């Protein structure tokens, strides 16, 4: 396990141990293991530490092109069916003529009910309607207890057909950049075409999150599948860390969502 740890960050060690345990559990019991909803970085870790031997790892987020997904770690004989992911897509309707609610409002209402973040996935907004993926076991509870989001009274029901699912309307635009290092300030400056000083100011003022956690250290080292959220500038996803140029700069493929 120590050899595995050296490839990841120290603060990721508890999750690495958990993911490794999932793989061991499947091998020992020879039965599939379903995870909660995981972000791209967490799924990268699961594939690295549990996707070995004869195990097969698949994933689903309930909504089309979801960012947060559940993973199924299973023996090679197991044929995963869509219902095995145990996901319900819930729909919120509210009087949009009088009030507007968004992603942050829904997130706050769900966590306010004591629901762990791993039990629900993407939250997607439409015209007077919001949909989000959730653990199927929560469907009845949410329909009965999620009665308000922000200041709006809402009606919650389960989406029963795939045709009713909201499509992904925001798409990442792929770009290639080169950077001198994988430090947070360096990558941020390269991706947003800022000076290192301006990038450092954004970081040190708490406006930058990496994988949903605020990072205020400019020297924080980025890795594959990291997701950066920069207040006022959108999101950046590390798609691929490539080789080096003749000038020893690192090639990166990133996704940009503004």
- Cβ atoms of 36 and 43 within 8 Å: the answer is no
Lowest mean pLDDT among 6-15, 61-70, 179-188, 237-246: 6-15
Q: Given 120, 142, 164, which residue is the final one in a domain?
A: 164
Q: How many Cα atoms within 13 Å fall on the side-chain side of residue 152?
A: 21
**pLDDT band at residue 3, thresholds of 50, 70 and 90?**
low
* 78 shares a domain with 108: no
> Which residue, chain included where needed, has tokens 């490839």?
7
pLDDT above 60: residue 1 = no
Percentage of the chain exceeding pLDDT 70:
97
- Domain with 49, as residue range(s), is 2-82
- Average pLDDT for residues 10-26, to the nearest whole number? 94
- Average pLDDT for residues 171-175, to the nearest whole number? 90
pLDDT above 60: residue 2 = no
* 253 shares a domain with 203: yes
Inter-axis angle of helices 184-192 and 196-204, to 10 degrees? 120
Task: Compute the Cα dihedral for 140, 115, 239, 187 and give only its sign.
Answer: positive
* 101 shares a domain with 31: no
pLDDT above 80: residue 5 = no
pLDDT above 70: residue 252 = yes
Q: What is the pTM of this model?
A: 0.82
Lowest mean pLDDT among 24-28, 96-100, 174-178, 199-203: 96-100
Find the CATH number of the domain harbouring 228: 3.10.290.10
- DSSP character for 128? S
Distance CA 110, CA 142 (A): 9
**pLDDT band at residue 130, thresholds of 50, 70 and 90?**
very high
Structurally, how many domains does the chain consist of? Answer: 3
pLDDT at 128: 87
* CA of residue 146 relative to chain centroid, distance: 23
pLDDT at 48: 92
pLDDT per residue over 80-92, tens digit each? Answer: 999 999 999 999 9
Q: What φ, ψ does residue 229 adopt, rounded to 5°?
A: -115, 120
Find the CATH number of the domain harbouring 150: 3.30.70.330
* 91 shares a domain with 77: no
> Which residue, chain included where needed, has tokens 């960050």?
9
* 95 shares a domain with 78: no
* 101 shares a domain with 54: no
């Amino acid at each position: 396990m120590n050899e595995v740890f050296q490839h990841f960050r120290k603060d990721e060690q508890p999750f690495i141990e958990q993911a490794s345990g999932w793989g061991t559990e499947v091998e020992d019991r020879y039965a599939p293991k379903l995870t909660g909803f995981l972000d791209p970085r967490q799924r990268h870790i699961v594939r690295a530490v549990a996707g070995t031997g004869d195990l097969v790892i698949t994933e689903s987020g309930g909504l089309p092109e979801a960012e947060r997904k559940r993973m199924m770690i299973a023996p090679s004989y197991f044929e995963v069916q869509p219902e095995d992911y145990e996901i319900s897509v819930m729909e919120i309707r509210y009087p949009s003529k009088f009030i507007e609610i968004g992603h942050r409002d829904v997130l706050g209402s769900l966590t306010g009910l004591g629901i762990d973040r791993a039990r629900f996935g993407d939250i997607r907004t439409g015209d007077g309607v919001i949909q989000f993926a959730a653990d199927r076991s929560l469907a009845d509870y949410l329909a009965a207890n999620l009665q308000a989001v922000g200041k709006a009274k809402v009606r919650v029901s389960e989406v029963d057909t795939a045709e009713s699912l909201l499509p992904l309307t925001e798409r990442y635009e792929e770009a290639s950049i080169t950077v001198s290092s994988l430090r947070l300030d360096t990558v941020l400056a390269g991706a947003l075409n800022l000076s290192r000083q301006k990038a450092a100011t954004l970081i040190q003022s708490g406006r930058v999150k990496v994988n949903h956690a605020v990072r205020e250290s400019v020297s924080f080292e980025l890795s594959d599948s990291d997701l950066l959220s920069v207040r006022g500038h959108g999101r950046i996803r590390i798609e691929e860390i490539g080789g080096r140029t003749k000038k020893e700069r690192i090639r990166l493929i990133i996704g940009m969502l503004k």
